[in-house]
Amino acid sequence: MSQDKLLNVRQAAERLALSKSTLDRLRCYGGGPVYKKLGRSVRYAKSALASWAATKDRASTSDMESAS
């Protein structure tokens, strides 16, 4: 396992400047960052949050979001 620090949902939401409920919704319906399910716990790697956020760059409001 890599040494990438794992964050709980509240920590991950704070790091992304999102509400916990928004991150929960993205996890349930798709479109959010990759996460790990450890037993009943959900954890996000810092690198996964950074990678996901990097895919959200847009140059204008008319930019189409990719299908990934």
At 52, phi and psi to the nearest 5? -65, -45
Q: Kindly state the greatest CA–CA separation across the chain.
A: 41
Q: Which residue has the higher pLDDT, 61 or 10?
A: 10
Q: Quick check: 67 pLDDT over 50?
A: no
So what's the pLDDT on residue 45?
97
| Percent of the chain predicted with pLDDT > 70 | 90
In a domain, 59, yes or no: no
Q: How many domains does the chain have?
A: 1
Read off the pTM: 0.81
Domain assignment of residue 61, yes or no: no
| Comparison of pLDDT for 36 and 67, the residue scoring more | 36
Across residues 41-60, what is the average pLDDT? 92
> Does the residue 45 lie in any domain?
yes
Sheet holding 6-7, edge to edge: 6-7, 41-45, 36-38
As a residue count, the chain comes to 68
